[in-house]
Amino acid sequence: MSKGNSVVLLDFWGSPFCLRARIALEEKSVTYEGREENLLGGKSDLLLKSNPIHKKVPVLLHNDQPVAESANIVAYIDEAWPSNPLLPTNPYERAQARFWADYIDKEVFETGKGIWLSKGEEGREVAKKNLIEVVKNLEGALGDKSFFGGDAFGYVDIIALGPASWFYAYEKIGGFKLEAYCPKFSSWFKRCLQRPSVAKAFPDPEKVHQLVLKLSEIMG
């Protein structure tokens, strides 16, 4: 890698947010150095310096310039490496893509939390129902298309894949199969996993399940 184009990702393997950045970098065939952060044991000085407001991963350092917040990072990657675009060029379609990315960011991970942070069965059942409702809304946006933007894999797919990487853990903890309620979403998910960029960046679902169990112990 030339000195003028260094790309470093402050990363955490199980993070739904870091996954978005890794997929976008793979989609653009960008060579980068991933630096794993120890979120529980102590964050690196570089992370604290690069994202002083939130102190969270992911942070992308492009030629030492930090970019924070995963949806912002994916949009940045799309602009900095313009070939093989992820966001549509049409202003209306771009606005739609940003709307759904925002919906996913506000609803999916937060709703999912109810499944692994709920103490009782009742709270978990409510969270399960809520998550299914949110995913059904996503199915509405997907319609009969292969990907959220149409025939081509793009921005909203990457944003949605982040929290979807925890769905296996939710299914195990909640004792349900999302496919039974949201078959279109499940087909979309399987389609995405067939992409080399996604397969390469994706964490092992069982490892994520163990991580979520550990987090629910710590935070629950």
Q: Is 70 in the site for ligand GS8 (CB under 6 A)?
A: yes
The distance of closest approach from Cβ of residue 69 to ligand GS8 in the complex, given in angstroms and rounded to an integer, is: 5
Nearer to ligand GS8, 58 or 112 (CB): 58
Q: Is 128 in the site for ligand GS8 (CB under 6 A)?
A: no
Closest CA to 26 of 214, 220, 216, 197: 197
The distance of closest approach from Cβ of residue 58 to ligand GS8 in the complex, given in angstroms and rounded to an integer, is: 6
With CB under 6 A as the contact rule, the residue among 17, 32, 148, 189 that binds ligand GS8 is 17
Q: Is 111 in the site for ligand GS8 (CB under 6 A)?
A: no
With CB under 6 A as the contact rule, the residue among 7, 8, 9, 12 that binds ligand GS8 is 12
Q: Which of residues 37-56 bind ligand GS8 (CB under 6 A)?
A: 39, 55-56
Q: Which stretch binds ligand GS8 (CB under 6 A): 68-76, 117-125, 142-150, 182-190?
A: 68-76
Contact positions vs ligand GS8 (CB under 6 A): 12, 15, 17, 39, 55-58, 69-71
